Structure 1
Amino acid sequence: MSGWWIDAGFFWHTTNKGPWIATLIVGMGIATLGALAYWFESNSSEKRELTCLALNVYYEARGESLAGKYAVAEVTMNRVVSPRFPGTVCEVVYEKRWDRLRKRYVGAFSWTEFDVMAHPEGQQWHRAREAAEAVYFGRQPPQLNGALHYHATYIRPSWARGQQPVARIGGHVFYE
């Protein structure tokens, strides 16, 4: 064991170190660029996820109280961690499933079905982003016990028949 160590030490002391140092510098540069690329990609991915969550909060609950905005964001995040739904926020928000009655794909959130939506802006957009960030980063404690579904109080969807609501917040009823 000690023989190879002595040989390595002798090799190091008798060899021209210029190419080794150049290779080390280039390798460190490549590793740094890779780490930066990974950081930028993960950062842009996080921004994209937050934007999708904020858009969902804005279009689904912009007229709701802060608690209502948190609840919509929480359901969206609960779906992300559920095996029954896609694994990213944007995939959950824009998911479409086949509806046998309508004979077409239907969005999980009604606003995603419209081709043109008013651009989010103003105080309501700011509040939607704040609520989305608080839920996304875990600063807002869960309040819905894992709820995966909700609907507006003025409709009675067939899927909700026989379901026990876990909460009613503002204009929405929430279910597990």
Structure 2
Amino acid sequence: MRTVRSWTGIAALLVAAGCAAAPRAQRVDAEELNCMARAMYFESHRSSREGMIAVGTVVMNRVDSTEFPATVCGVVGQRNQFAPGVMSRDMNSRSLPLALEAAGAVLQGERHPQVETARFFHAASYRAGYNNMHYVATAGGNAFYEKRPPAMVTQPVPLPPSGG
């Protein structure tokens, strides 16, 4: 796995961003931070912190599920689940500090309030033809959804994007 910068530099960015002072502050594993930041960076179109937090919430919902790997890196590295090259491509834009800060915040407990327990998302512009997708949020260019029995789906189309 390729690293973006030295982990000392990443830690300095997180401290500067205020992540170390989070209310539920705890030790953030550098490898898990890297994997989470990669998912956010490549999946949220680097458009907003809200979109990154929403992607991170899905990652953590999957970690907490018995249907997916039990680690952030296991979830993000799972074949055909995230953007191609998510674990190997370079992260080199002005959005990297935001992705690292948001990743640290999610690893310390922050969650997107509308995503709740959703474990799936796709590009907001994509129109799927399935009848079991219950949409809960649209943020950062993605539509987030839960899979439900068709009779339990009350929101069958993506919601309008939320602010941010």
Taking structure 2 as the reference length, the TM-score comes to 0.65
Alpha-carbon distance in structure 2 between the residues aligned to 1:78 and 1:113 = 19
Paired-residue identity, %: 35
Alignment match, 1:74: 57
Change (3 A) 1:141 1:108: closer
Whether 1:164 and 2:134 are equivalent positions in the alignment is: yes
Change (3 A) 1:69 1:49: same
Q: By how many angstroms is 1:163 displaced?
A: 1.2
Alignment match, 1:151: 122
Whether 1:83 and 2:66 are equivalent positions in the alignment is: yes
Alpha-carbon distance in structure 1 between the residues aligned to 2:101 and 2:133 = 31
Deviant stretches of 4+, over 2 Å? 110-114
Alpha-carbon distance in structure 2 between the residues aligned to 1:46 and 1:54 = 12
Query: What amino acid sits opposite 1:165 in the alignment?
Result: Y
Whether 1:123 and 2:123 are equivalent positions in the alignment is: no
Contact 1:94/1:112 (8 A) holds in 2 = no
Matches within 5 A, 1:1-176: 46-96=29-79, 107-112=80-85, 117=89, 119-138=90-109, 140-143=110-113, 144-158=115-129, 160-176=130-146
Query: What amino acid sits opposite 1:150 in the alignment?
Result: F
Q: By how many angstroms is 1:141 displaced?
A: 3.9
Q: By how many angstroms is 1:113 displaced?
A: 7.1
Gaps of 5+ in 2: 1-26, 147-164
Structure number with higher relative contact order (C-alpha < 8 Å, ≥ 6 residues apart):
2
- What do residues 84-118 of structure 1 show as CA deviations (whole Å, max 9, x unaligned)? 1000011101112xxxxxxxxxx10023379x63x
Taking structure 1 as the reference length, the TM-score comes to 0.61
Alpha-carbon distance in structure 1 between the residues aligned to 2:60 and 2:86 = 20
State the SS of the aligned residue for 1:173.
strand
